[in-house]
Copies of this chain bind each other. A is one copy, B any other.
Amino acid sequence: MFPMEKSAPKVPSDRTTRDRLLDAAEHLFGIHGYKGAGMRMLAEEAGVNLGAATYHFGSKDALYIETFLRRFRVMNAERLRLLRESEEQAEGKPLPVARIVDCMIRPLFQSGLKHPSFQLLLARNLFMPPPFLHAVIRQELEPNIKVFQAALLRALPAMPDSLLHLRTMFGMGALLVFSFQMAQMVFERHATFYENVLEEMVRFISAGLQSELPPSPEQWLPFPFPPDSESR
């Protein structure tokens, strides 16, 4: 009934093997995709045994999910933190659109600079996640989207929210493709380069969000993000 004294830490304490596995997975899943990278490949790059690999995570799917969530969670938290901080500074006044967009996409650039291989994995999974990741991402992203959508609606009160939803998705597309593009060339450029691209993207997306309203705005149905994919 009593917990054992030497209660072996169920997961931690073996940082090395487990974490090297996660790093290898981040790298190789990013490059080759879920189907493209096998457990053997991962184990080899991590320098661990094949058996040990499945031992630590139970299954390939579980490893993939954990690899993705490890950084995705902190990135999303950072997004919310930046927005909250901006809103406190504004003291009740609605934020400018560009400022909100900045909070949305800046963490992606930061995370991309720190973890280039994750940026590849991220773009891949936001665009076309394998089926078992789909629900995970949605659940993780949902509160985030709600908060930003609300902030944008305060800044653009004349906009029907289904239209805002559609435009936000266009913006996500611009962000995603470029994020993938950027992952290929991190370390090749100076930090100011990324800051410039970030600013330019904020300009592009903000202009799109604020463009004139259509003459007869249709009631768009909401579009799920990430898109519903039949599989893979």
Q: How far in angstroms is the closest Cβ of chain B from A3? A: 45
Among B36, B199, B204, B228, contact of A35 (Cβ-Cβ < 8 Å): B36
* Per-position binary interface string of chain A over residues 169-184, scored 1 when its CB falls under 8 Å from any chain B CB and 0 otherwise: 1111111111011001
A35 to B176, CA, bound (A): 22
Q: Are B208 and A205 in contact (CB under 8 A)?
A: yes
Q: How far in angstroms is the closest Cβ of chain B from A210? A: 7
Q: How far in angstroms is the closest Cβ of chain B from A52? A: 25
Q: How far in angstroms is the closest Cβ of chain B from A197? A: 7
Binds B, one of A8-16, A42-50, A211-219: A211-219
Contacts of A184 in B (CB 8 A): 227-230
Is residue A200 contacting chain B, with contact meaning CB distance below 8 A? yes
Contacts A227-B180, A231-B31 given; indicate if A200 touches B173 (C-beta within 8 A): no
Is residue A114 contacting chain B, with contact meaning CB distance below 8 A? no
Contacts of A67 in B (CB 8 A): none
Is residue A113 contacting chain B, with contact meaning CB distance below 8 A? no
Residue on B nearest A179 in the bound complex, by CB: B173
Is residue A193 contacting chain B, with contact meaning CB distance below 8 A? yes
- For the complex, would chain A's binding face be called helix, strand, loop or mixed by DSSP majority? helix
Contacts of A199 in B (CB 8 A): 214
Among A166, A193, A207: residue with most chain B CB under 10 A = A207
Contacts of A132 in B (CB 8 A): none
Is residue A163 contacting chain B, with contact meaning CB distance below 8 A? yes
Would you give 15 A-B contacts (Cβ < 8 Å), ordered by A? A31-B231, A32-B231, A33-B33, A166-B200, A171-B174, A173-B175, A174-B174, A176-B177, A184-B230, A196-B218, A197-B220, A203-B211, A204-B211, A207-B210, A207-B211
With A166-B197, A181-B223 known, 19 other A-B pairs at CB within 8 A are: A31-B230, A31-B232, A35-B35, A36-B231, A127-B180, A163-B200, A166-B200, A167-B200, A169-B178, A170-B177, A173-B176, A174-B208, A181-B225, A184-B227, A184-B229, A197-B220, A204-B208, A207-B211, A208-B208
